[in-house]
Chain A
Amino acid sequence: MDTTTIETNFRSEEYFINMGPQHPATHGVLRLLLTIDGEIIKKVEPDLGYIHRSIEKMCERDTYQQIVHLTDRMDYLSSNINNEAVCLTVENALELEVPDRVKVIRTIIGELTRISSHCLWWGVMGMDVGALTTYFYGFRDRELINDIFEETCGARLTMNYNVPGGLMFDIHPNFVKRTKDFIAHFKTKLPEYDKLLTHNVIFQKRTKGIGILTKEDAISFGASGPVGRASGYSCDVRKHHPYSALDKVKFQEALKTEGDTYARYLVRIQEMWESLSIIEQLIDNIPEGEYRVATNAVIKLPKGEFYQRVETARGELGVYIISDGVKSPYRLKFRSPGFSNLSLLNHIAVGGKIGDLVATMATLDLVIPDIDR
């Protein structure tokens, strides 16, 4: 029987399926409209806005100090880096030089945030491909970072530790010790991650060659963070536009060229190692000094436009402030990494199976509040 007869006899029909907004693999309230032929995905259309809070509009009414705490609620897994982004924008606009101590502490906390976010991602990645135990191992290690944060900042997730001009208060006396303990602990656990998941033959089969994103497409789709770097696109803002103390440390940008799901996985694992090394370089020589520079009680940015790029755990976060010289920004735009990374989902998921879509989505590491700002 030739193929045409098969096709006429067994006509396959495409059908719609709603993945989400309540679905275990969409990590929040993302809704995907899937067009499927059997198990093969023909089209993925994200439907957003289930938790849109219009942070950008709220920012137009808030003062610059108040904006910072709203950014906690965007990408809640790298909330400290988001805070830092707004603070850096305001400080640059005011041409305020923050003390070295602040810069170093911000960098350490930023890298801890990145590790914590990647820990959670690793656990969830395992869960998405069906290995439920990884979730608990990832969370166990993340919990230690959360403890460090809680002791120093008072909160575990939405820290609001940065203020324009520095930090809200100095680090806790236990901070250095706890961080060192964590590094020692985590260095023994990361090889376990590899044993449990990275080298696992099933996991490799599930991820290798799946969801391939070429370098050209990565740039065109505005992919950033580990998603872009897995495609061989050097897009680490920490390297290209270093901020805080990141110009003083040595680290390697995790680059892979395959561009598949496995490469994105490996890039994040390598990033955890790099973040550990960054923290190690800084933790022993936090300079003494002020933790905060006094600013006016009401911060007014000069007229003009200010743009600051930082590297969150998910990729490049841009803060674009248009100021007309009053206490609130005229327009504030967050260029969130998740939003651009989500836009390429349709491009890389088509042709795969439902299981591939889930694995691919896990390595895009979407945080929905980051997309639905």
Chain B
Amino acid sequence: MIRALSITRSIHDWLYSSMSENMAYFIEMVLIAIVYLAIFAVAGLFLVLIERRVAAWFQLRIGPNRVGFQGLLQTMADALKLLSKELTGTEKADKFLYNLAPYFVIITALMALAVIPFTQDFQAFDINIGILFLIAISSIGVIGILLGGWSSNNKFALIGAMRSGVQTISYELSIGLSLLTMILITGSLQLSEIVEVQKSGWLIVQGHIPAIIAFMIYMIAGTAETNRAPFDMAEAESELGAGFHTEYSGMKFAYFFLAEFINMFIIAAIATTVFFGAWLSPFGITESIPILGVFWFLAKAMVLVFLMMWFRWTFPRLRVDQLLTLEWKYLLPLNLMNIVIMALIVWLNLTIQF
């Protein structure tokens, strides 16, 4: 089998041969960090553009089409504008926490990105607790939102932050449990192994009915986790103005904004990895060219991202107590039941395998 990204391997070998081990290790880390930052920035800007175009098409509009070919540079221009903007804030804000909050959000998003298997061997680090790590990291992001809302010294921001806290803590459960359902099939938390298992059929096919239920629950909980409509309690622009980031401007606001989109991508990427066979092509049609795995991975993730956009541009927002009702009265019991069914299916060997 051809090494998918032999270029990384050769860089790795060259670094280790030309300098001391510690030094090479350090430089390698820096290089990978730069690569992922680039992915982060490009993906973030690209997703914002897609969101705007998709929203426009849902709403019978055209969308941004002026900057660059068909508006491709629009978000780039927006980012430049945000960079040049003044960073305002409230006078009585807790300055340290206020400035810290956006970094919390953006760093967690970046960390989660690191374990996602874009294609074979294209994964920053493949730890054996992959899924657990993802769940753990994605729940740290809410601390940033809470800090931001709390330290802004604005009541609207505070309400938004509190709502977000309530929401994320609740929906963590559903995300975790629905992924746990799938782990019953794979028997491993390591993402590369989860992909390996799917070579005999994507998990959503292998696990059939309970897997589909788990997927639906995961998508609902994932949308809630990213604070997107219909669960955008934390922002809720018709209720709270701008919610937790009311007092943020310029690049600090852009961090929150980008992180929201990266989180959306991460949720879609996890779903792709766990339910839809990550970079595996459908029916193995491009099995021999692993570099195409990136294409398949992104294509699947994009379909899921589109689904989340479709939700956002169709549904009204839930109220904060209904949000919790949905989680605790519907999703959680269904999820627990689903785990039992899945366990039975795995135990009785009723999974569909090719």
A residues neighboring B (CB under 8 Å): 15, 17, 23-25, 39, 126-133, 135-137, 140, 196-197, 200, 202-203, 205-206, 353-356, 358
Contacts and interface: CB of A to CB of B under 8 A. Distances in A.
Contacts of A127: 238
Tier of interface size on chain B: 20 to 34
A17 B230 contact: no
Nearest to B58: A133
B315 A354 contact: no
A133 B313 contact: yes
Given A133-B58, A133-B59, A354 B316 contact: no
Given A25-B238, A129-B238, A136 B319 contact: no
A354 B59 contact: no
Contacts of A140: 60
B317 interface: yes
Contacts of B92: none
A205 B320 contact: no
Nearest to B319: A355
Nearest to A362: B238
Given A24-B241, A25-B239, A131 B315 contact: yes
Q: Which of B60, B315, B320 has the most CB of A within 10 A?
A: B315
Q: Report which residue of A132, A200, A356 has the largest number of chain B beta carbons within 10 angstroms of its beta carbon.
A: A132
B232 interface: yes
B318 A206 contact: yes
Tell which of B58, B236, B319, B321 has the most Cβ of chain A within 10 Å.
Answer: B319
B149 to A, nearest CB: 14
Contacts of B238: 24-25, 127-130, 358
Interface in B228-282: 229-230, 232, 236-241
B66 interface: no
A208 to B, nearest CB: 11
30 contacts: A24-B237, A25-B238, A25-B239, A126-B316, A128-B238, A130-B232, A130-B238, A130-B315, A131-B314, A131-B315, A132-B55, A132-B59, A132-B229, A133-B58, A135-B59, A136-B61, A140-B60, A200-B316, A202-B315, A202-B316, A202-B318, A205-B318, A205-B322, A206-B316, A206-B319, A206-B322, A353-B321, A355-B319, A358-B238, A358-B239
B171 interface: no
A127 B237 CA distance: 9
A353 B59 contact: no
Contact of B60 (A132, A137, A353, A355): A137
Interface of B: 55, 58-61, 155-156, 159, 229-230, 232, 236-241, 313-322
A200 B315 CA distance: 8
Contacts of B318: 202, 205-206
B316 A355 contact: no
Nearest to A127: B238
A17 B55 CA distance: 32
B92 to A, nearest CB: 15
Contact of A129 (B55, B314, B317, B321): B317
Contacts of A203: 316
Contact of A355 (B155, B229, B315, B320): B320
A131 B321 CA distance: 18
A197 B241 contact: no
Nearest to A140: B60
B60 A136 contact: yes
Nearest to B155: A17
A206 B322 CA distance: 8
Contacts of B240: 354
B90 to A, nearest CB: 14
Contact of A353 (B55, B61, B232, B319): B319
A370 to B, nearest CB: 21
Contacts of B229: 130, 132
A293 to B, nearest CB: 44
3 shortest A-B CB distances, which residue pairs?
Answer: A130-B317, A136-B59, A129-B316
Contacts of B55: 132
Contacts of A23: 241
A202 B230 contact: yes
B320 A133 contact: no
B263 to A, nearest CB: 19
